Amino acid sequence: MGLIKQKLVIFCRKVLFFHIWPLVFNLFKHRPLDEKLVLFAYNRNYSSMPDNMAGVFEYLKNKGFNCVEMASPKSGLKRFLFNLRFQKYYAVCRCVFLTDNFDPVYAHEPREGTRVIQLWHACGAFKKWGYSTADLAWGADKKSLSTFPMHNTYTDVFVSARTVIPCYAEAFGCNEKIIRPFGTPRTDVFFDGAFVSSQRETLQKLFPDIGERKIILYAPTFRGSNPAEAYNENRLNLERLKEALSKEYVLLLKLHPFTEKKFDLTEEEKEKSGDFVFNISSLVSTQTALCAADILISDYSSLIFEYSLLERPMLFFAYDLEEYNRERSFYFDYKSFVPGKTVTDTDGIIKAIETGDFEKEKVAPFRKKFMSACDGNCTRRIAEYAVSR
């Protein structure tokens, strides 16, 4: 029964991908191009418009463009009807912005005069994705990718630095010529001094117990072979961390959007961690968390690229590096790539913080190499390019 269901799913997807979506698009593509229509399309893995496109949306809206937010429902009849409506708009729009995979765009080429712009949701290039992960535990299998192509219709891809262009070309299976180092829109706030300096106060209002203590932000990526099965595991000994660091520090948890609703501290952990550990995952933005943090602890998360703009210390809690590298892989050798000290257990974290041994000298060259196109003007630069002729 499982095999029959699988074949039926593939059959239905083929009908949609190769017949219905192109048919609807072709019905409308002969209409005049709407020079003011700009689409912002994404799947509802996000609770609101992705932050990497929100600034572009507001910028173009203020310039008089008809900016249409198109958030795809997760499944069912609503999603089917949404995709038909998307093809209708896609056939006549000036450009469409994406920040992730979006299947309805890949079923056929855009019409002449329409730009398909991939902003991507992460800076730099860290763990692999797209065609780079074909046949890995994380990625799709090569047979599926050959049947249902993805990332195949972009006219423009914007990245945070020239250094990562080959990585994106590999991941998207595209020509390097369409990849432009114009920066990443959501990084603009890190160049706003007033915003950066005010975010600690924002957190203190939510969590008065922080007091005057320094903030350690723990922001790991998720584990699991796909978004639906994503999970987090707590390998930190919170009791040990509190005992060693709580007089001078607090620990804030900021989990990946795929897992923030699936994970919380146990009642026992909450009782033992007391006024030292705070789960801020669904309460504040990533930008607020990063700007407020004095130290970032991560693992394989691309948030390290944004945090490098602040040139503050980082630690890399890579307790499962060998396994993660085998299942997902990286574009660069992990240990020589990360801009900070690598540790594998709680005692390593405590020792690094107590001694100040973060290997912070790695941060500035890392920022220069991977974030050189981010200068506080990315939103304007990308938005104006998108609607230029």
Amino acid sitting at position 299: D
Amino acid sitting at position 236: L
Task: Compute the distance between CA of residue 335 and CA of residue 332 in angstroms, rounded to an integer.
Answer: 9
Query: What is the CB neighbour count within 10 angstroms for residue 1?
Result: 5
Angstrom distances, CA of residue 183 to CA of 236, 294, 309, 379: 34, 25, 12, 8
Using the predicted structure, report yes or no on whether residue 231 has a pLDDT greater than 70: no
Amino acid sitting at position 151: H
Helix, strand and coil in the chain, % to nearest 5:
45, 15, 40
Strand, coil or helix: 72: strand
Task: Compute the distance between CA of residue 70 and CA of residue 80 in angstroms, rounded to an integer.
Answer: 13
Using the predicted structure, report yes or no on whether residue 116 has a pLDDT greater than 70: yes
pLDDT at 221: 86
Nearest CA among 44, 145, 21 for reference residue 90? 21
| Residue with token string 């594998």 | 344
Nearest CA among 102, 47, 44 for reference residue 260? 47
Using the predicted structure, report yes or no on whether residue 130 has a pLDDT greater than 80: yes
Using the predicted structure, report yes or no on whether residue 153 has a pLDDT greater than 80: yes
Do the beta carbons of residue 273 and residue 242 sit within 8 Å? yes
Give the DSSP letter of residue 35.
Answer: T
CA triple 158-160-161, angle to 5 deg: 105
pLDDT category, 11, cuts 50, 70, 90? very high
- The four Cα atoms 328, 333, 339, 345 give a dihedral, to 10 degrees, of 60
Q: What is the separation, in whole angstroms, between the first and last Cα of the chain?
A: 53
pLDDT category, 200, cuts 50, 70, 90? very high
pLDDT category, 142, cuts 50, 70, 90? confident
Strand, coil or helix: 208: helix
Task: Compute the distance between CA of residue 311 and CA of residue 320 in angstroms, rounded to an integer.
Answer: 26
Strand partners, 116: 96
Using the predicted structure, report yes or no on whether residue 228 has a pLDDT greater than 80: no
Do the beta carbons of residue 118 and residue 100 sit within 8 Å? no
Do the beta carbons of residue 54 and residue 42 sit within 8 Å? no
Do the beta carbons of residue 69 and residue 113 sit within 8 Å? no
pLDDT category, 261, cuts 50, 70, 90? low
Using the predicted structure, report yes or no on whether residue 338 has a pLDDT greater than 80: yes
* Per-position DSSP letters for 88-120, written without gaps between them: HHHTT-SEEEESS--HHHHTSPPPTT-EEEE--
pLDDT at 9: 87
pLDDT category, 45, cuts 50, 70, 90? low
Query: What is the CB neighbour count within 10 angstroms for residue 71?
Result: 16
Angstrom distances, CA of residue 62 to CA of 66, 99, 242, 383: 10, 21, 48, 11
